[in-house]
Structure 1
Amino acid sequence: MRSIRGRVAAICFVAAALVCAVALIGWVLDVPILFSPLPGFAAAWPPALAANLILAATLIAVGVPGAIARRRVASIGIGVALVASLLLALSLFTNNGGSPISCLLIMLLGASTVILFRNEREGAPIAALVAALVISFALLMLAGQLLATEVRGGTVQPWHIPILTNIAELLLGVGLLMTATDQALGDDRPNGGEQWPMPLRAVPALMVAPALVLAADLIFFSDRDFPETTEIWGMLANTLIVGSVLLWAIARLTRQRSKLRIFAATLDAQPIVMIDSAGRITHWSRGCTALFGFSADEAIGQIKAELLRTRPADGAEEEELAVDASGIHRQRRLVETARDGRAVQVLETEQQVDDRDRGTVTVLSVTDLGPLLSAQSATAESDDRLSLAAQAHKIGIFEWNIASGKLTWFADTEPLLGLPSGTLSDYATWQEAMLPEDRALLAKRLEAAVWSRAEQISFFYRLRLPDGSVRAIEGSARCFYDEAGALTRTVGVNIDVTDRVQQTTQLAAREAQMRSILETVPSAMLVIDIHGRILSFSPAAERLFGHTANDVIGSNVSLLMNDEYGLRHDSFLDRYLRTGERRIIGRPRILTALHANGREFPIELHVGEAVYEDNRVFTGFITDLSERLRSEERLEQLSSELTQIGRINAMGELAAALAHEINQPLSAIANHIATAEVILENEQISDPLHERLFGQLRATRAQALRAGEIIRRLRDFVARRDIDLRVEPVEAAIREASALVLVGTQRLDVSIVYDLAPEAPFMLADKIQIQQVLVNLMRNALEALRATAADQRTIRVATRKLEGDRIEFAVSDNGPGLAKPILDQMFLPFNSTKGAGSMGIGLLICRRIIEAHGGKISAQNNDQGGATFRFTVSGIERPLGED
């Protein structure tokens, strides 16, 4: 809502705009009466009219909400002032009909507008003074031109202003003066009302009083001449002086009254009660109304203790604060009841005041303790939460005073670092508890922080506890400095990160161990992404493929494959990413790889998948199968050779057995033929047939003797065959025999357990024959395990050292064991547990081999099931020729 001064100013601005607009229309339409209404007076100058019209329109627009920004008004005022200065120069140096005084007044009006609207609070008094000068000039010129006879005679030509321009500038000056004084004295309105106090309403008139006096002199004393130039300048100086004094005095008064109003409003906003000697309320502030809900009309005249049902707070005692000339001050904690029945806990300060009119008055200042109690409760809860958080994370909160060196631990958080309370009471004890190397590092960091005046410092150190253990501590602190840049205190936290440091150390050790394993593991390892690009290439992979890691990282993995697999690898990978069907991942696969030199070689590939965050990679472990395939070929060849040797040995044993069994019938045949010859010889029969038969008998006996000699020689050959005794490693012989037994995938469902005596490392034996015995016994064990579940089939091969440098070999199984009849005849020829398909001479051969080595072989059933075969050979401490 616009004030009265604002409405007067708007009327002046509109009137000035109308005067300028009418005069300009007269110029355009060539109607002299419109731009020169009084005969004999100069006509208004169009450029001056236009400048006044622009300024008037701008000031009118300020009063329209949203029409123009107040900052923009200042810019337009600057433009008008610049145009007026240009017009002033034209009127002074050219004969163009313009008035220099009019142009000067327009320039002053523009300056007043700029000052007022660029800084309303501080600029308003200056703008008012400038507007008063314009009014004084315009008023004096108007009075002189209309009423002084000397004007008509042309004696005031130097101060000449066209009458319409003069009226417009006078109206603009009045409007700006009203606006500026309203803005400058706005704070002095009572209770923010619209009306000024009566003395202040005359301020605008008092500011132009010197011009009014001089104008009145011209009007009422017309016989006088127009004032001299010195009088006019004196009038202007008086205007400035009077206006400045008035504005200064009023501004000071305004500030004092404003402070008093603010102070009174502030006091009234506080809960303050005044009571008389009977306890009746004589004053009730707005703060009491807000606190207790009773209005002033309801409270005044009531006894305070009855109205508020006052009672002392629990555990509260009256406290006498001070006794001085102004009276006794007391302070009490009370519980009072608000209008809505709510209990309000307050702190009441009582003061006795002597008043000449009312006598002794008691002023009660009431402070609501509710927010304080809530804040205390919240602080206690916050402290509890802080303590719990500090306990959960082992955080010690400290403050270090640099000057005293004192170290304070908040909320007794020192024990959270593993220290008894009071252990680290100052910086010296804190340093003493640190490890020396960390102490020096922390000192350097602190020195660097102070040098750079860093607001925060982070640190890490290790603390040695009284029990000798070491804790890792990490923390940070806020640094505070004085004006000279010296560190005064720090506030920060210490966090026990021992567990994290240990985990980090263990993780680093595991990473180093894993890196060492990956660098030394014989299997090659590489990692690829979902596009088949190689991300990692281990040293074993470099040795296997002949490429360096730098050469292949970033390339497609197909460069390590031959054409058969390389061309299809990306399609395999795309299919898996699309369908999720696993055909290779988690399953071993035999492939053909490509060496850097173009050589192809067989590999076994194991692929694993890892997904972390949004990334997916595939890890491949690659084993070169070339050596294994060659070893399998050698084992197959060795197996064939051993089988052939076994067959030869079997044939020899068979020949020995046949020689033993056939020799007796042949001897009997020879004896019977000899008897027949004796009988025939005694008969003395002379018959060709008799002679012929006798000859046949002699021939038959000769052939029988010849057959017996052949069998004897064969038996002697078998019995006297030599064995190739050499020093052989026991473990190597056993493992080679096991490999021969397990050749073929059908044997992979059996576990072989070795229990070899370290004190019996070498034997003196024929390695091939001993391996033949082991192969035979283990193959028999495999046959015995056919009825046992596949995941429970176990063969145990053990050795132990006996007395007399003998070594005992034991081959055990967990099969069904041996039947008693078979166990008694185990090593006899043609005795077998394998059925009709077996010749039953395998164990006989084993017995002959062991006996040829000077040992013994035996068999027995185990208590837990299965059977054990044992045999002995000669042992030796170390290979021959070894020192």
Structure 2
Amino acid sequence: MNGIEMIPAQQPGTKNRPIAALLAGIAAICAATSFCGWLFEVRQLQTFGFDTFPIRPLTSVGYVGVSLGLLASICDRQRAATLLWILPIVVAASYIAETLTGSAWSLARLIGEIPPLGSDHGYIPRPRLISAGILLLLTISAFGSRIRGWFSAEAVGLIATGVLCLSMAAGMMILFAEPTHKVPQVLIASMPSAFMGIILSITLILLNADLAIVRAVARRRGNWWMLAFLPAALLLPIIPSVLELFFWSRNGMSAAATEALVTLCNMLIVGMITFWAITRISRAQAHALELSDAVDSATVAITTADGRIAYWSGGCERLYGWTAAEARGQYKYLLLRSVCPIYSVESRQSDGHIQELIELHRDGREVSVVERGVNVSGPGREPVIALKLTDTTERQKAMEALRDSEERLAAASLAHELGVFEWDVKTGRIEWSLGTEQRLGLRPGSISSFESWRAQVDPSDVQTSLEIIARAVQTRADRFSFRYRFIQPNGGVRAVEGSSRAFYDEQGNLVRTIGVILDITQRDEHDSELRRREAQLRSILQTVPDAMVVIDNNALIQQFSAAAERLWGYRAEDVLGRSATILVPENVRETHMTVLRRFLEHGEGVIGDIHTSTAESAEGRCFPIEIRTGVARIDTQFLLTMFVRDMSERLATQERLSDLSAEIAHVSRQSAMSELAADLAHELNQPLSATSNYLSAARMLLERGEQGEKVIELLRTAVDQTQRAGEIIRRLRAFMARGEVEMRAESIERTVRDAADLVQVGTTHFNIRTAFQLDPQVRFVFADRIQVQQVLVNLIRNAMQALRGCDRPDRIITISSRKLDDQTVEIAVADNGPGMPAQVLETIFTRFTTTKGGRGGMGIGLSISKRIIEAHGGSLSAANQPEGGAIFRFTLPMIEGGHD
């Protein structure tokens, strides 16, 4: 069975066995003594001094059998008891047979109880029903209760009480009856028989009941007046009979008066006993009802010795969900599926056992209980086990929650390397959680007391810690925080911080603290490194010439460097927390806020780009600035760091450099034109000379008086030659012009051909041919025509100069264009000359590097050309061709549309 193993039930009267055995032995001795009186013809032994009523020999034998049978039963010799109890059964049966037949039975004659006729033996009375009844009742009740279990303890007690009354009545008749008086036949018995009947009936009562009076006497406690009243209550019913015999023997009253007096006494005695019994019963019933209600409200169950439920209180119904009708008769531990987490299911429990069980509610829920069992036995009842059940489900849940909490705390402490400690101020004892000392680099137990703690802590921190504790005690603070350093055995230092809960006594003295500590050595080192880096960064930022301004999501200024103070003229404390829009003119403030909002919403437009804008100083002076912005994200907040540079000087420098570059380009063009002056003079001389000749011829014809088509033709030819000379001069003036840069859509073909024609003036005698390979799909570029022509003139002139020293008969300069992508066009100038040395290619675009060797040149033409192309957003490169000759390529932005 699941649960505890029950102790075998004790038989009723087990505690009274010694007394019962003593009484049974006395009865046996008395029976044997009376039988010996017949054997040795001793009249006193036969009658115990009362000669009128001797005991019959066969009756003595019967009492010997009853007494010895009880002794054998008390000694657990049940078979011997059964054999011995056959004797009184046979004797009682023979007596009943003699009584019914009215003649001596053969068994009596066999043993010589009935003497033959003419013998000298005295008169032996015939057996009466009382003797046979006593023997028969004692034997049957003993055999039925001790051997067969036919009768309950209550039934045996009732039978024994009846035998006791009969035996006492018979004894009273012997004591008070006169020889001349007529005695009721039913009460005729011998004194030995009555005496042994009393002793054996008391023996049976002791063996079958644990009398409360006996327990009270043995324990020396209880209602002593009840103990005194019990004999009186037993003797009261006898008083009327004694009075009747007394008055009857004295003849002092008439029979009617005697009967009336006896009846009155009986009524008084019965009334007193009845009133007392009703009062006691009512009071006991009231107490029993109160006790029953109290027990029913408690969680109490009563089981039999084998574990079946005999009583199931209302508290058990509420606890387990099973009603009393459903639970009664069930095995408790099977019904509730009881499990003991401490003992095994078959472990034996002693009286008064206590165990914790996990049982199932009717709906399947687990119920935790503490079961206390007590063995209970009473007069005439089978022993039972009273179980007091205490519901500990909530306590178990609380304990489990506490264990879970402690496990989580331990896990969290281990994960975060927290140490828990307790300091008993009075004893100085300090207890640490497992592993705390090792994590601090200390030996376990090395800081188990206040003095050892003081010895391990940095001396400068000890006094600080004591002052913190003193202030907490002075103000009765519930908790205080601390920070100090441990000195390790190897000389290392571990920094810790923590807090502690303070506990005070009634006088306000600190008696105990419980707290936690955390090793912050790495954090301190990290913080120290951060502080060092912060100081270094602050020093760098203070020396950086650019101004630094940090703003938040709302454009409020958070930091304002010293360089920013110098740039704007504000002090940092005057602008911190104010809107950054005060740093720019009013007309651009909305633009800046729009850019900031777009960045905050979409993350676009600020980070990674360089922006230019206009700033306004504290005096109202506006100046150009360049802004570089970085962002730092802190949770959902942004911090924008802006490095601002004043562009005033740089723009002025750029303007001066631009003017200087224009001047240099102009000088370069003048230099180029000076080199072409002789060729240009020769080229201009031809159309002017031709014009003069044509005009002279026309004049001669006019002087002759000739008119008509011939004169007109001469004048038309002169005009053409004049226009030719004017075009040469126009190109020269345009090339030499010192104007502003003008970016617009220009025709690639016109720009290229004009430049080529300008260079080819006066070079026809060199026998250098110019070939054009222009892409018809690419017609326009977005550029300054004069600057692009300057580059082309420079490249074409260099090519012509390289071809002049070449002995090849087919000297060609090829000018080509092609589309690189949708936005870029490439223009190339190539020749089939000797090419350029490798060392020249490496530095060809460096100033004062010339490709003309000893033929002259300043070495700035290609450098200027490279800057011009880069200013247009393109690039200029040079290389030697595999088939011979050099090639220069440059790119320009392409544009759709325009006009030739």
Larger Cα-atom Rg? 2
Q: Which TM-score tier does this pair reach, normalised by the shorter chain?
A: 0.3 to 0.5
TM-score, normalised to structure 2, is: 0.38
> Whose relative contact order is higher, 1 or 2, with alpha carbons under 8 Å and at least 6 apart?
2
